[in-house]
Amino acid sequence: MDVWTNKGEHHICCLPCGHIYGMSCIKRWLQRRAGSANCPQCNRKCSMKDVRKLYASRVVAVDEESHKRIRLLEAKCIALESKVRMPLY
C-alpha cells in the first residue's frame, strides 16, 4: 500500500461511494475488473470515469486502533513510573 499524495500518479482520489484510495491503486483495481468493477470496500459498481481526484493542503490518515493502543501503553507507563518512585521500606 503506497502513501497517498497531493500530486503525481498516487494522487488521493475517491469513488462515488466516498471511499478514498491512491489513484494508481484504484486505477489498477478497476482495470483488472473491467466490465464488473466495484469499490474494494463496499462493492458498489463504479468505473474509472467515476474516480474523482481530491485536493487537500494536508492529508493525514488516522488509525483509531493505534491511537487507543498508544493511550493504553501511555497509561501503563505512568502507572509503572509511579511504582518506581514509591519509596521502599
Q: Report domain extents, the chain.
A: 12-85
Distance CA 14, CA 22 (A): 8
pLDDT of residue 53: 92
User: Cα–chain-centroid distance for residue 60?
Assistant: 8
Greater model confidence, 37 or 66: 37
Q: How confident is the model at residue 46 (pLDDT cuts 50, 70, 90)?
A: very high
Whole-prediction pTM value? Answer: 0.60
Helix segments in 1-89, DSSP class H: 23-32, 64-85
Per-residue pLDDT, averaged over 33-55, amounts to: 91
Say what the alpha-carbon torsion angle 57, 22, 39, 45 is, to the nearest 10 degrees.
80
| pLDDT tens profile 47-72 | 999 999 998 777 666 677 888 899 99
Length of the chain (residues): 89
